[in-house]
């Protein structure tokens, strides 16, 4: 099982952008995550053709992935 923390943003054009963090610290509270995301937005250092890529905070979530092998070829 693997876990990621997804920080979800919108661009200036309204498109979805995600920063995905592998092996995140668990049990982060909303205030801590929001402060980190506000810092990313305020830094304004990611742009493509002048459009800010992380313009608006949309949310954050933990994503867990479980893989179960059915067949493994030898």
Proportion of the chain in helix, strand, coil states, percent, rounded to 5:
20, 40, 40
Alpha helix (H) ranges present in 1-74? 30-43
Contact of 41 with 56, CB cutoff 8 Å: yes
37 vs 22: CA distance, rounded Å? 16
18 vs 61: CA distance, rounded Å? 11
pLDDT at 49: 84
Q: Any bridge partners for residue 3, and if so which?
A: 64
Give 7-45 pLDDT, tens digit per residue.
Answer: 999 999 999 999 999 999 999 999 999 999 999 999 988
């Amino acid at each position: 099982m693997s876990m990621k923390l997804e920080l979800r943003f919108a661009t200036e054009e309204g498109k979805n952008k995600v920063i995905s963090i592998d092996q995140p610290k668990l049990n982060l509270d909303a205030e801590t995550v929001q402060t980190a995301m506000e810092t990313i937005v305020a830094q304004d250092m990611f742009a493509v053709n002048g459009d800010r890529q992380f313009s608006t905070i949309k949310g954050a979530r933990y994503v867990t992935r479980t893989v179960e092998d059915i067949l493994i070829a030898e």
